[in-house]
Structure 1
């Protein structure tokens, strides 16, 4: 007989789930089939995908348009260097510790920044990043304004074998991307995620329904801050050198991330993933053109905003109704044999 049931899954999401496990196995085995340069590029893609997914959670779902997320990228990197260089903490043990620092700092910053709205919040987030940059530039133990490199002893703490160090850097980047996307999907499917969507659609109406708007946004901001510090640490673990200008670069860690989300699709889980792939395809193709590369990125962003304001994935979803990570439940028909 014909039965109805409530589900989140679609045919595309089920197919993706089936293909996901062998794809993850293949990616995990990348150190055995990819070259060193390819491995570093793949790690960079995974980390940018994580940053874009986190920024999208803030701006696309919580309505917190931050232009200062480089604050937490740089914070994570500097705390990682401080823990490993000055405190003698093993690099792997330093990662959960710096996430706690990131959560604490973002919780403190939220108390101040949440007093601001709209463009003022965006400017405030940028000011926070500048305060962090100027502060760490004064820490002589971490190289001051010129920066510092990780000493060989810290690098060898990961492994004495160079191939294994490259492999571990890739596995950490891949694991971080899987963690970020998984956390975001689970959060948006939870009760807090439903509340967050309601706040995004109409904050006044959500408040009238009893949703604690401040607490929901605070939870998102702290979680994003903690995870962004982790990504920042992994970025500079790959680079092995840090400086205030590199760690708190608004161009590298915020402008490019916003570009990725805008062209991929703001307010979708799939958008940052698609946007990251498009961004790196353009970068690898046009990087030799110098400043023309940045002009081309700008033209692509303008074209997408004019002809696909919901982003590339938003265009696909609106036309064909496709969702790889469906969030809402739907009523579906099911043909069953039974009594």
Structure 2
């Protein structure tokens, strides 16, 4: 007699193999400052900032259903807090990076009371307006250079090689931490609650999910990540200005990367960030043709690969490096009568 039981499976052979390969890749990447060129480290820091910012936007919009085009508010705020802690208080800028991220997360709490009064397209436009308020506020602060910006002077006493190596290691650590934290969160009960809220807030609330509290938590975490990316970016850039820190291009680039890679997937921002960096690296010299190419690529992907490039690969071949879904499989066993 055959008795059937069922089991819930999350991981796959591909995901476990990818985990081992990723661990080896991180170990090799950590040794780059000892044998690589400084230009490679600078490129990685830039890609890491793009990726972290896009990952946080994907968490907010792709998983939480809150489409924002004003996350650059926290990107710039984290960068400015890092600079002020370094230049005015004499704090080591590398220590100030996580503090800038914390400050961005804290400022997101009162800002959320304004943003959450809006919904849908009004929420998206409202977040943009909030980011412009941030930009104009810092543009009128003469202590940080006003509209022309200022230089990060707190790093003057640190050798260039040391500065580049530490910045690179911090970027690598931030990338690993961002992936791990988002992955673990989405595999938890809170991750399931977030997906339920995205699909239908009324139904989620009827099942006892604290919708308002969950949305606030995700909004604050996304602001923290954006602030972390901003502080890290301007440590590597050594200079900050309101137009660079609070530019809407940051949200536009994040949307492009997530849409190209696949919205609502951890792998999406990773794939999108690599593609965006490659296009920016090799085609930016062509001026307006470069921007036209970005637009055409986005149109092609949205028309023929509606779930993004990684979403198409996952649907076609079942690829999933970071499986967060639960699959119910049947396990058959013999039972004697």
Could you state the TM-score of these two structures normalised by the residue count of structure 2? 0.94
For residue 161 of structure 1, report the CA deviation from its aligned partner. 2.9
Aligned residue in 1 for 2:19: 17
- More divergent stretch after superposition (1-10 vs 272-281): 1-10
Match of 1:116 in 2: 118
Alignment match, 1:155? 155
Q: Which of 7, 10, 26 lines up with 2:9 in the alignment?
A: 7
Candidates 27, 48, 59, aligned match of 1:57: 59
CA distance in 1, matches of 2:220, 2:259: 23
The separation in 2 between residues aligned to 1:97 and 1:164, in whole angstroms, is: 21
Please give the alpha-carbon distance, in whole angstroms, between the structure 2 residues aligned to 1:334 and 1:75.
52
From 313, 322, 325, the counterpart of 2:322: 325
Residue correspondence of structure 1 range 236-251 to structure 2 within 5 A: 236-251=234-249
Deviations 1:102-149 (A, max 9, x none): 121101111111110001001110011100011011111111111111
**Which 10-residue stretch deviates more, 325-334 or 258-267?**
325-334
Contact 2:94 2:167 in 1 (8 A): no
1:241-290 per-residue CA deviation (whole Å, 9 max, x = no partner) reads 01111111111x11111100011001111111111111112222211211
- Cα pair distance change 1:56/1:172, threshold 3 Å: same
Structure 1: state its 5+ residue gaps: none
Distance 2:144 2:20 in 1: 46
Matches within 5 A, 1:69-108: 69-108=71-110
* Aligned with residue 126 of structure 1, among 106, 125, 128: 128
Give the deviation of 1:3 after TM superposition.
7.8
1:104 and 1:65 map into 2 onto residues whose CA distance is 20
* Distance (Å, rounded) in 1 between the aligned partners of 2:163 and 2:277: 24
Cα RMSD for the two superposed structures: 1.9
Aligned partner of 2:191 in structure 1 is: 193
Alignment partner of 1:234 out of 211, 217, 232: 232
Per the alignment, residue 312 of structure 1 pairs with 309
Q: 1:181: how far off? A: 1.2
In 1, Cα distance between the equivalents of 2:229 and 2:67? 19
Instruction: Give the distance between the partners of 1:117 and 1:197, measured in 2 at CA.
Output: 17
Is residue 2:303 matched to residue 1:301?
Answer: no
Assess if the C-alpha contact under 8 Å between 1:148 and 1:242 holds in 2: yes
Helix, strand or coil at the partner of 1:6: strand
Q: Does the 8 Å contact 1:264/1:312 carry over to 2?
A: yes
Q: Which residue of 2 aligns with 1:277?
A: 274
Take 2:155 and 2:32, find their aligned partners in 1: how far apart are those partners? 21
Contact 1:65–1:122 (CA under 8 A) maintained in structure 2? yes
How far residue 6 of structure 1 moved from its aligned partner, in angstroms, is: 2.6
User: 1:32 — aligned with what?
Assistant: 34
Count of matched residue pairs: 332
**Does the CA contact (< 8 Å) of 1:47 and 1:176 recur in 2?**
no
- Unaligned regions of 5+ residues in structure 2, if any? none
Pairwise CA distance, 1:333: 6.5
Partner of 1:172: 170
